[in-house]
């Protein structure tokens, strides 16, 4: 019976620990709220202590004024007692005197004494009332502040009780509702990740999301689910990232997680530690499979390295805690383990390389276009030079024909007119030779073309 009870207790503790691992975020939030409530309660308690100190001071002032009022009342009573005693003594003295001689004087004196005593009593009573009113006026603010203090204390107490009740309600809601729900969701997630197809699909979704965040568009920068067949069987990478220059990088997202899931469900620390060691060993074995030459040889061109995508930071960190040399082992075998954060950085670098490649390609196109334009301008310059040479040749031929006409043809024609063989008043006009020449191309880019054309023409003339 004790063993069963102890096993149940340990099972409950292990379940609570697992639930705590998954609800740490919510617990931290509630802890923050509880800390804020405690800080508020501490502040209210400090304010309560201050108000109580002020109440104590006011109470002391009130007691001092009450004692003063009591002393004034005692002094008035003593004066009245003295007056009454004096009256009695006067009465006894006058009784001793002659009844007839002193009767009128005694009565008159007694009336006068009574009147004086009455006036004195009225004055003492008025003074006592005035003092009571003054004391009442003096203690009125103290009484009002004490009343406000009591109201504020009640409000603080109600706020404190409400805060603790709200905190207690939230804790009960967490224990009664959220923890069982979190436990069920955790169990469903573990159950889903145990299925290879679901786990692979989850890794592919994570990988696609990482690629989208890195700005690597599918239609131009990478290919998904490309199959390769080798001598060892059909192997399929999850992603092939093309690099500038015709190179490529292979990304594999089929990381084993069975041992890690067993570690999460372990009931004791020894079982959890054993499962985590198995998780690190599985990850290292998978790196060894990716590092084989047959895996690299299936791609053309051969990739620079293989990226092992681990879809969660916790999966890789748990393996590193058990095998700190895992990264060094992977790097030596041209395998780079990458979490979502590091893969985003890697793909960002590749995307930047593609942008630089696009800029270089644009620069090459601009250079080719400039060379083509330069060649066309040179060809046009050749044509212009040839036209100029032809125009110069035409001018020379024209001047030669004008010379021949002036020296040989026109003198003979004018002799017909001198011999009267032709009639009319019209004279043969004298033709002037052309003195204008075509303008040579002076630009350095065009002058060479003109010299080349002239050389060609000179060769033809010599021939």
pLDDT at 406: 75
Residues 217 and 320 in one domain: yes
Residue 96 lies in a domain: no
Is the full-model pTM beyond 0.75?
no
- Cβ proximity of 373 and 367 under 8 Å: no
User: Token digits for 150?
Assistant: 């009591």
Least confident of 106-110, 136-140, 401-405: 106-110
DSSP state string for 377-446: HHHHHHHHHHHHHHHHHHHHHHHHHHHHIIIIIHHHHHHHHHTT-S-SS--PPPPPPP---PPPP-SHHH
Mean pLDDT of 428-441: 64
CA–chain centroid gap for 328, Å, is 32
pLDDT at 90: 67
pLDDT, tens digit, 9 for 90 and up, residues 410-427: 777 777 777 766 655 666
pLDDT at 167: 66
DSSP-based three-state secondary structure for 169: helix
CA 240 – CA 429 distance, rounded (Å)? 89
pLDDT at 124: 64
Residue 94 lies in a domain: no
Domain ends where: 190, 207, 235? Answer: 190
Domain ends where: 308, 338, 368? Answer: 338
CA 33 – CA 4 distance, rounded (Å)? 38
pLDDT at 382: 78
- Cβ proximity of 279 and 319 under 8 Å: yes
pLDDT at 138: 64
Q: What φ, ψ does residue 243 adopt, rounded to 5°?
A: -105, 155
Residues 325 and 376 in one domain: no
CA 262 – CA 273 distance, rounded (Å)? 10
pLDDT, tens digit, 9 for 90 and up, residues 45-91: 777 787 777 777 777 877 777 787 777 778 777 777 777 777 777 66
Residues 271 and 399 in one domain: no
Average pLDDT, the chain: 70
Comparing 32 with 288, which gets the higher pLDDT?
A: 288
Residues 143 and 214 in one domain: no
Q: What φ, ψ does residue 432 adopt, rounded to 5°?
A: -90, 140
CA 349 – CA 353 distance, rounded (Å)? 6
- Please say if the pLDDT value at position 9 is more than 70: no
Residues 38 and 14 in one domain: yes
Residue 349 lies in a domain: no
Comparing 121 with 412, which gets the higher pLDDT?
A: 412
- Please say if the pLDDT value at position 327 is more than 80: yes
Residues 318 and 302 in one domain: yes
Provide the sign of the torsion angle of the four alpha carbons 53, 55, 56, 58, taken in this order: positive
- Please say if the pLDDT value at position 190 is more than 60: no
Residues 280 and 418 in one domain: no
- Please say if the pLDDT value at position 232 is more than 60: no
Residues 13 and 72 in one domain: yes
Domain ends where: 164, 190, 216? Answer: 190
pLDDT at 463: 47
Comparing 202 with 85, which gets the higher pLDDT?
A: 85
pLDDT, tens digit, 9 for 90 and up, residues 169-178: 766 665 565 5
Residue 346 lies in a domain: no
Domain count within the chain: 3
Residues 185 and 209 in one domain: no
CA 229 – CA 299 distance, rounded (Å)? 10
315 to 183, 265, 283, 309, 401: CA distances (angstroms): 20, 15, 10, 11, 101
Residue 95 lies in a domain: no
Residue 122 lies in a domain: yes
DSSP 299: S
Residue 415 lies in a domain: yes
Residues 271 and 321 in one domain: yes
CA 106 – CA 3 distance, rounded (Å)? 113
- Cβ proximity of 346 and 221 under 8 Å: no
Residues 333 and 376 in one domain: no
Residue 87, C-beta contacts closer than 8 angstroms, at least 6 positions apart? 113, 114, 117
94 to 80, 82, 109, 299: CA distances (angstroms): 21, 18, 10, 146
- Please say if the pLDDT value at position 282 is more than 80: yes
What range does the domain containing 233 cover? 195-338
Q: Which of 382, 384, 392, 287 has the alpha carbon at shortest distance from 331?
A: 287
CA 196 – CA 22 distance, rounded (Å)? 23
CA 335 – CA 309 distance, rounded (Å)? 10
Residue 310, C-beta contacts closer than 8 angstroms, at least 6 positions apart? 255, 283, 316, 337, 338, 339
Long-range Cβ pairs for the range 68-76 (8 Å, 24+): 68/135, 69/131, 69/132, 69/135, 72/128, 72/131, 73/128, 76/124, 76/127, 76/128
Residue 347 lies in a domain: no
DSSP-based three-state secondary structure for 116: helix
CATH number where 256 lies:
3.40.1350
Residues 176 and 213 in one domain: no
pLDDT at 306: 85
% of the chain with per-residue pLDDT over 90: 0
- Please say if the pLDDT value at position 366 is more than 70: yes
CA 103 – CA 374 distance, rounded (Å)? 158
462 to 37, 401, 456: CA distances (angstroms): 111, 22, 10
Least confident of 85-89, 124-128, 258-262, 323-327: 124-128
């Amino acid at each position: 019976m004790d063993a069963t009870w102890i096993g149940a207790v340990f099972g409950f503790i292990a379940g609570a620990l697992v639930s705590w691992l998954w609800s740490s975020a919510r617990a931290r939030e509630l802890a923050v709220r509880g800390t804020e409530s405690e800080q508020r309660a501490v502040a209210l308690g400090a304010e309560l202590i201050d108000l109580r100190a002020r109440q104590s001071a006011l109470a002391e002032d009130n007691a001092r004024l009450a004692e003063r009022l009591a002393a004034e009342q005692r002094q008035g009573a003593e004066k009245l007692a003295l007056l009454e005693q004096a009256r009695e003594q006067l009465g006894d003295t006058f009784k001793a005197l002659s009844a007839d001689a002193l009767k009128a004087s005694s009565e008159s004196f007694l009336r006068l004494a009574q009147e004086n005593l009455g006036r004195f009593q009225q004055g003492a009573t008025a003074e006592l009332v005035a003092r009571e009113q003054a004391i009442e006026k003096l203690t009125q603010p103290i009484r009002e502040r004490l009343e406000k203090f009591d109201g504020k204390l009640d409000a603080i107490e109600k706020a404190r009780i409400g805060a603790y009740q709200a905190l207690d309600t939230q804790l009960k809601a967490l224990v009664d509702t959220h923890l069982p729900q979190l436990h069920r969701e955790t169990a469903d997630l573990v159950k889903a990740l145990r299925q290879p197809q679901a786990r692979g699909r989850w890794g592919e979704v994570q990988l696609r999301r990482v690629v989208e965040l890195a700005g690597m568009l599918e239609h131009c920068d990478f290919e998904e689910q490309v199959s390769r067949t080798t001598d060892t069987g059909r192997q399929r990478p999850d992603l092939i990232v093309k690099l500038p220059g015709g190179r490529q990088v292979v990304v594999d997202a089929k990381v084993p997680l069975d041992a890690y899931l067993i570690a999460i469900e372990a009931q004791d620390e020894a079982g959890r530690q054993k499962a985590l060691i198995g998780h690190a060993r599985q990850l290292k074995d998978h790196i060894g499979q990716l590092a084989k030459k047959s895996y690299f040889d299936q791609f053309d061109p051969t990739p620079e390295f293989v990226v092992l995508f681990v879809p969660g930071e916790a999966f890789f960190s748990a393996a590193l805690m058990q095998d700190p040399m895992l990264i060094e082992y992977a790097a030596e075998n041209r395998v780079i383990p990458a979490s979502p954060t590091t893969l985003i950085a890697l793909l960002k670098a590749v995307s930047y390389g593609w942008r630089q490649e696009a800029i270089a390609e644009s620069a090459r196109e601009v250079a080719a276009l400039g060379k083509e334009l330069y060649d066309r301008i040179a060809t046009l310059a050749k044509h212009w030079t040839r036209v100029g040479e032809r125009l110069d040749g035409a001018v020379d031929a024209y001047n030669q024909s004008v010379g021949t006409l002036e020296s040989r043809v026109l003198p003979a024609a004018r002799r017909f007119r001198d011999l009267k063989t032709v009639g009319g008043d019209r004279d043969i006009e004298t033709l002037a030779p052309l003195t204008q020449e075509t303008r040579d191309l002076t630009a350095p880019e065009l002058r060479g073309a003109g010299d080349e054309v002239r050389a060609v023409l000179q060769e033809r003339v010599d021939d």
